[in-house]
Amino acid sequence: MSGLVMALAAASLMTGAQADVEFDFETRWRYALLDDQFRAGGSDQALSGRTLVGLRLNAGAWTLGGELIDSRVYQDDSGSTLTTSMVNTADILQAYASWQDVADGVQTDIQLGRFTLNVGSRRFMARNGFRNTINAFTGANIRRAAEDWRFTAFLVSPVRRFPNERRALERNEHDWDEENFDQTFLGLHFQHALAAPRTRYEAFLFALDETDSSELATADRQLLTLGGRYYRAPAAGEWDFDIEGAVQWGERSETRAEPSPTRDVFAATGHAELGYTFASPWSPRVSAEIEYASGDDDISDADWGRYDLLYGLRRRDFGQTGIHGPLRRENIIAPGVRLTLRRDAALDLRVLYKAGWLASETDVWTDGRLRDVTGQSGRFVGHHLDTRLRYWMIQDRLQLEVGGAIFERGGFASDAPGAPDATTSVFGYSMVTLRY
């Protein structure tokens, strides 16, 4: 961080601005237990810790920001699914410079360096919340906003988390993260407020381009994702809705191996939700919703139909993740209902039910690691009931969160080749977060 201090001092001298410092600290610890998990491997557990330390130095229109992350996992079982989505010890999450200007009612922000990013609904590009590690990107991000519209454009390369070998992850070993400049991700996102209260529309385009390198085998994806969103935010005594969809096309290799056939991509995804918030104590909101993401119908042809979820979040729409998480935005049709209660700013509760069907009965159920290329195991993956309760014991300082989920296997998850014998998975966790 000393380099940031020196750079800010130089910026202060050039602009004549008074420098000020903002400091953030957060540490979060979660114990999770999974009985008879839906994957092969039996039960599982994990004690996950994530600590974030952030520093922002402001001098007039200039800001230099940095954030450190330390994510670790303890007490996990030998069959745990342990990846870099869980472990990233003592590394630089963000290190950037930004410039801000306001002219004629339009605010312009330009950010350069390594940073995290939330865009729109966060279904396509987001800073991870519940997950123990956080995606970071290196490049440029430009935002322009007025009273009723906002435009975001970014061109970045993802940061690869290291180490990525299981033995090193089990030991919480350290290795510096690195940019993957063989992959670039471009995004254009526009949001506009309409005359109707709390109602907006969004239009977006994302472009992903990647190639193999000597250190990393990839699927050589060249994908364009074009979509839009139309929504009305919830309010007491009012109906709300959220409709979002996108089509995806391009090409990719069938596998990461070399050589691998190139396949033409055409895929799609969609979200639809209708809710109502009652004007009564606890502000209960009930909603009906459905998720869709296409699958690949035929592994023998030259086309690829499975939707690629890019860098979006899935917990809000599909329920718990971490060592659990049976559903995601790939080869899925998932209708469901939701209930949320909020007593005040300190206490809220969510109950979510989703049923999952494969969009293509011959494509893979990604999280269950199962596939029946004959389609004879059917489509129904199972029932998923999810809960979460959050309570600020000290407002904005100390939060307790508890939750859990029950996943009841459907016909496909029980009958597909290689399916484990378990029928019902039970997941629970408790989490404490301290912020300063």
CA quadruple 146, 149, 153, 158: dihedral, nearest 10: 110
Mean pLDDT value of segment 152-179: 96
pLDDT of residue 298: 87
pLDDT digit string, tens, across residues 293-345: 999 998 888 999 999 999 999 999 999 888 899 999 999 999 999 999 999 99
pLDDT of residue 215: 77
Q: What is the number of residues in the chain?
A: 436
> pLDDT > 90: what percent of the chain?
84
Q: Is 174 helix (H, G, I), strand (E, B) or coil?
A: coil
Distance CA 201, CA 279 (A): 26
Mean pLDDT value of segment 106-134: 97
Predicted confidence (pLDDT) at residue 8 exceeds the cutoff of 50: no
pLDDT of residue 13: 46
313 within 8 A of 319, measured Cβ to Cβ: no
Q: How far is CA 174 from CA 15, 46, 84, 94, 371, in A?
A: 39, 19, 12, 17, 35
pLDDT digit string, tens, across residues 255-281: 887 778 899 999 999 999 999 999 999
pLDDT of residue 320: 86
Which residue, chain included where needed, has tokens 């009930």? Answer: 286
pLDDT digit string, tens, across residues 206-260: 999 999 887 788 889 999 999 999 999 999 999 999 999 999 999 999 888 777 8
Mean pLDDT of the chain: 93
Which positions ≥6 away from 152 have C-beta within 8 Å? 119, 141, 142, 143, 187, 188, 189, 190
pLDDT digit string, tens, across residues 346-403: 999 999 999 999 999 999 999 999 999 999 999 999 999 999 999 999 999 999 999 9
pLDDT of residue 16: 56
Mean pLDDT value of segment 160-178: 95
CA quadruple 6, 7, 11, 14: dihedral, nearest 10: 70
pLDDT digit string, tens, across residues 173-221: 999 999 999 999 999 999 999 999 999 999 999 999 999 887 788 889 9
Q: Which residues pair with 125 in a beta bridge?
A: 311
Does domain 2-435 match CATH 2.40.160.100? yes
Distance CA 260, CA 158 (A): 24
pTM: 0.92
Predicted confidence (pLDDT) at residue 10 exceeds the cutoff of 70: no
Give one word for 252, left, alpha or beta, with left for phi > 0 and alpha for psi -120 to 50. Answer: beta
pLDDT of residue 2: 44
pLDDT of residue 1: 43
Domain boundaries, the chain: 2-435
pLDDT of residue 17: 59
Mean pLDDT value of segment 61-88: 92
